[in-house]
Structure 1
Amino acid sequence: MSEDSQPGPEDEFRDMLRQFLSGDSEIDPSKLVGAAGLPNDPAFMARLMSQLQSAVSRSGDGIDWTLATEQSASIATQSAIETSPGQVSALEQAFHVAALWLDEVAHVAELTVEPRLMTRAEWASATMPVWSQLAEPVADSIADSLTSVLRDQAPEEMREMLAGASQVMRNVGGALFAMQLGQVVGQLSTEVVSGGDVGIPLLDDQQAALVPQNVAAFGDGLDIPIDQVQLYLAVRELAHARLFRHARWLRLHLISSIREFSQGISIDTGRLEELAADFDPSNPEELREAMASGALIPPKTEEQLAALARLETTLALIEGWVDVVTAKATERLPKSSSIAETVRRRRAAGGPAESAFATLVGLELRPRRLREAAAMWQAVSDAAGGEVRDSLWAHPDIVPTSDDIDDPQGLIARLTGGQPEPDDVDRAIEDLLNDVSDDRPREAEDGTAEDPRS
């Protein structure tokens, strides 16, 4: 064998990983998978081992998110129940009536795409592009930290091998993270009732959708006629989708804010080094507990806390507006307030999958100031009317702030001329209401939303 054909350190490392993944080493891969919080059933293990072996052989950079899509769809279909024609017809009619009711109370753009009824698997696949966008910065941070720790902790004789195999480790770590994300999104697909149920625009901003199987599950045990539940949820989903269609800047702004927050997340390498040094492959419980509790993600920095506060304010403003508009549009429903309270409690508590996403990415999606934001929007509606209320979404510079949530009367005074000398915000609002401002959000040539601040 010539010198050029001798296997290098990277090849040795690939061979070592392949041996481990094929089960020919002393370490049981299934125990490591269990420590990562993934299911340990034979079918899943076979699929995971196959995907990790493929990751070892990959030469490209970046995470293969198709693994997450496949895993989420697999979970979503396990408990799927076919929707009856009667359910389909009832929900289609609910969307039709919901659109008419919203037209009466909201001054926002109508959707250009018909609402959809989605299976759990369709919801998981359709929303995965956004989930992967939000999770990618954290996945990269984990991969960088893992590579660094393994290189620093490795025995001297293995360092040359690991130094040439960083890409292989990143691929394997990325594949494992993608499978974890798929697990979370698959579980979420069994809990959500609509496209906007978790507060962020997971679908295209011209799309509204309901998941019939989950709508039926939501209505079980409420002692409320199911047609009222369907109509209320249809109004709420349409309101959420229409808001993002109307405020073309909002979707990009929100997703960019979440990614900006996620990019600031680092991994506690000290804690990771401790786990690596003390790790017992036959007893992976300590590693499982660290990953499940989020112990590897250190406390948030001051910058992150400030970014999180801004993000939570935006989420609260969105859902508060949706709550107020939905309440007004569904006044004809006898049980509207009861359904609304159920939705609020459900969002405040969150589900198991949402908690898992918070652990995985370090971000909770529950708006902490939802009730206060809703009270502010209601006060604005009562004092200035729905058209003025909805005009505040026209540009990011005039959207209410956290201070406005604290002091709705101050905002109302500015909107209704209660202050003798108008400031820049007043003048911007006046320009928008008079339709003379040329600083409106625009669409790019390809039809996507441009951030007006860029």
Structure 2
Amino acid sequence: MSPGSNPFEGMPFFGDLLKMLGTQGPVQWDGARQLALSIATGGESEPNVDPVERIRFEQLARVADLQVAKATGLSTSTTGRAVTVTPVTRTQWALTTLDAYKPLIEKMAVALHPPTEGESTQPALPTDLFATDDSSVDPTEAWLGQIMGLLSPMLLGMTTGSLVGHLATRSFGLYDLPIPRPASDDLLVVAANIESFGDDWSMSGDDLRLWICLHQLTHHAVLGLPHVRARLDELLGDYASAFESDPDALGSKLTDLDIDPTGGDPMARFQELMGDPEVILGAVRSPRQLEILPWLEALVTVVVGYVDHIMDSIGSGLIGSYGQVTEAMRRRRVESSASDRFVERLLGLDLTQDHFDRGRAFVDGVVERAGVEALEKLWTSVEVLPTPNEVAAPGLWLARIGVDVELDVDTDLDLGPDLDPPS
């Protein structure tokens, strides 16, 4: 093959790909939205939510709001007006979630391919991808090398769109993952997913709706606290910004791509590659992220443990089938899909049953030692949020915040000096 020739001539997919790469920002959001909506809806139009369903959630949300505020002592509102719980379509949920995750994904994009001094985050397409003066250079390898820096925006866009689309097919609300959303008191729940889940488990529709209202509002009350939101946003943002790129790993994946026009559909092969989470996360977790992770996990673990405690304290007296619904929900979260797990890894929230168990053990340990009144101190300021070591030893946390308790030598062990908080 002569220098400057195009080894992909006659393959319009790659021509279209190069045009797209030359017109995008740090993440290809248009492609992400298109893919997310296609997956969320199965490529079909969605019916509007039944107005009767909206009325049911509106009524149950008022009940849940009063109960959560009473049990937590926290305001459920972040804006000063009443919180609403609105059933929406999968399309609406997917679009809202893409917007919520956008700052984190773009921080990751910049971390993976930071612009050089004087360069914008808009990638520049080389004028001739296949031109080379060295006849010994394989034009295919030259193409792969030049396109590597341009590939990340589309890769992140397609991966993010695919994952959010899949999440839209099974998520119930905004807080299935305990991640702060933009300040709003309009909580969205996915009507079709809730109805399908209830049918699968033969549940009372109103019991399930009320359970979900309680769950969403309890998360909202905690994550709506300014200092909790700010701390979690800080940790998530720092984690996303600390990714490191491994071009060799991605290059190896691209080299394995079958680009022979006679070897099958190149679009299908490329989409298969883009859907592989390991292309992004296979070898990019950095030492800095390992420093951040214990603090991020500590905060999230305590949040989910606290939510479970509050749910149990009010749910059984409010919902006739509370035990059945709770058991089904807890099985469901342990059996999370690959999309759930990858989003959690992407954001540093690889939640397992162990995290839920440790969070609940911390909260139960506080109550056993100092009563439910001690839980009121948990969310008073960022300074009193439990450290990683304290999550495993609630007596140490109580001692640090000035609550006199007798340490249990079996559980409140000396775990050594706690990690310094990430700066």
TM-score tier, shorter chain, comes to: 0.7 to 0.9
Aligned with 1:280: secondary structure?
Answer: coil
Quick check: 1:55–1:175 contact (8 Å CA) kept in 2? yes
Aligned with 2:40: secondary structure?
Answer: helix
Aligned with 1:210: secondary structure?
Answer: strand
| Candidates 28, 53, 68, aligned match of 1:87 | 53
After TM superposition, give the deviation of residue 399 of structure 1 in Å.
1.0
| Candidates 390, 394, 397, aligned match of 1:408 | 394
After TM superposition, give the deviation of residue 346 of structure 1 in Å.
2.2
Partner in structure 2 of residue 126 of structure 1: 96
Partner in structure 1 of residue 83 of structure 2: 114
Instruction: Out of 167-176 and 395-404, give the one that drifted further.
Output: 167-176
With over 3 angstroms needed to count, the CA separation of the structure-2 counterparts of 1:278 and 1:399, relative to structure 1, is closer
Tell me whether 1:189 sits opposite 2:162 in the alignment.
Answer: no
Amino acid aligned to 1:280: D
| Candidates 254, 257, 276, aligned match of 1:292 | 276
Q: State the TM-score, normalized to the length of structure 2.
A: 0.74
Q: Distance in 1 between matches of 2:370 and 2:340?
A: 37
With over 3 angstroms needed to count, the CA separation of the structure-2 counterparts of 1:107 and 1:406, relative to structure 1, is same
Tell me whether 1:69 sits opposite 2:45 in the alignment.
Answer: no
After TM superposition, give the deviation of residue 252 of structure 1 in Å.
2.8
After TM superposition, give the deviation of residue 154 of structure 1 in Å.
7.7
Q: Distance in 2 between matches of 1:410 and 1:72?
A: 45
Amino acid aligned to 1:408: P
Q: Distance in 1 between matches of 2:146 and 2:258?
A: 25
Partner in structure 2 of residue 137 of structure 1: 107
Q: Distance in 2 between matches of 1:206 and 1:167?
A: 46
Percent same amino acid at aligned positions?
21
Q: Distance in 2 between matches of 1:169 and 1:241?
A: 41
Residue by residue, what CA displacement relative to the aligned partner does 1:130-157 show, whole Å, maximum 9, x if unpaired? 2122222333355569x99x99x98743
Residue by residue, what CA displacement relative to the aligned partner does 1:32-87 show, whole Å, maximum 9, x if unpaired? 8xxxxxxxxxxxxxxx95x86355246xx543534423432343344634432332
Question: Whose helix proportion is higher, 1 or 2?
Answer: 1
Partner in structure 2 of residue 312 of structure 1: 297
After TM superposition, give the deviation of residue 383 of structure 1 in Å.
4.5
Aligned with 2:243: secondary structure?
Answer: coil
Q: Distance in 1 between matches of 2:20 and 2:283?
A: 32
After TM superposition, give the deviation of residue 331 of structure 1 in Å.
2.1
Q: Distance in 1 between matches of 2:394 and 2:226?
A: 25
Quick check: 2:28–2:157 contact (8 Å CA) kept in 1? yes
Pairing of 1:273-422 with structure 2 (within 5 A): 273-277=251-255, 279-282=257-260, 288=272, 292=276, 294=278, 297-298=282-283, 300-332=285-317, 333-357=319-343, 361=346, 363-366=348-351, 368-412=354-398, 416-418=403-405
Tell me whether 1:263 sits opposite 2:241 in the alignment.
Answer: yes
Partner in structure 1 of residue 222 of structure 2: 243
After TM superposition, give the deviation of residue 189 of structure 1 in Å.
1.1
Partner in structure 1 of residue 410 of structure 2: none
Q: C-alpha root-mean-square deviation of aligned residues, in Å?
A: 4.1
Quick check: 1:376–1:405 contact (8 Å CA) kept in 2? yes
Q: Distance in 1 between matches of 2:148 and 2:286?
A: 28
Tell me whether 1:99 sits opposite 2:99 in the alignment.
Answer: no
Residue by residue, what CA displacement relative to the aligned partner does 1:83-104 show, whole Å, maximum 9, x if unpaired? 3233222222111111122133
Q: Distance in 1 between matches of 2:186 and 2:373?
A: 23
Amino acid aligned to 1:88: R
| Candidates 178, 185, 189, aligned match of 1:199 | 178
Partner in structure 2 of residue 56 of structure 1: 22
Amino acid aligned to 2:361: A
Q: Distance in 1 between matches of 2:360 and 2:12?
A: 52
Quick check: 1:67–1:178 contact (8 Å CA) kept in 2? yes
After TM superposition, give the deviation of residue 230 of structure 1 in Å.
0.9
With over 3 angstroms needed to count, the CA separation of the structure-2 counterparts of 1:183 and 1:295, relative to structure 1, is closer
After TM superposition, give the deviation of residue 286 of structure 1 in Å.
9.9
Partner in structure 2 of residue 45 of structure 1: none
Quick check: 2:28–2:158 contact (8 Å CA) kept in 1? no
With over 3 angstroms needed to count, the CA separation of the structure-2 counterparts of 1:104 and 1:74, relative to structure 1, is same
Amino acid aligned to 1:140: V
Q: Distance in 1 between matches of 2:254 and 2:60?
A: 55
Instruction: Out of 236-245 and 395-404, give the one that drifted further.
Output: 395-404
Quick check: 1:138–1:263 contact (8 Å CA) kept in 2? yes
Partner in structure 2 of residue 441 of structure 1: none
Quick check: 1:104–1:329 contact (8 Å CA) kept in 2? no
With over 3 angstroms needed to count, the CA separation of the structure-2 counterparts of 1:254 and 1:378, relative to structure 1, is same
After TM superposition, give the deviation of residue 385 of structure 1 in Å.
4.3
With over 3 angstroms needed to count, the CA separation of the structure-2 counterparts of 1:234 and 1:281, relative to structure 1, is same
Partner in structure 1 of residue 190 of structure 2: 211
Amino acid aligned to 1:198: L
Gaps of 5+ in 1: 1-12, 33-47, 421-452
Instruction: Out of 181-190 and 274-283, give the one that drifted further.
Output: 274-283
With over 3 angstroms needed to count, the CA separation of the structure-2 counterparts of 1:405 and 1:54, relative to structure 1, is closer
Quick check: 2:21–2:154 contact (8 Å CA) kept in 1? yes
After TM superposition, give the deviation of residue 182 of structure 1 in Å.
1.6
Quick check: 1:205–1:244 contact (8 Å CA) kept in 2? no
Q: Distance in 1 between matches of 2:200 and 2:302?
A: 30
Amino acid aligned to 1:324: H
Q: State the TM-score, normalized to the length of structure 1.
A: 0.70
Quick check: 2:305–2:360 contact (8 Å CA) kept in 1? yes
Quick check: 1:192–1:198 contact (8 Å CA) kept in 2? no
Residue by residue, what CA displacement relative to the aligned partner does 1:327-383 show, whole Å, maximum 9, x if unpaired? 112121232233223222322332242234357x37444254211211221332354
Q: Distance in 1 between matches of 2:71 and 2:347?
A: 37
Partner in structure 2 of residue 38 of structure 1: none
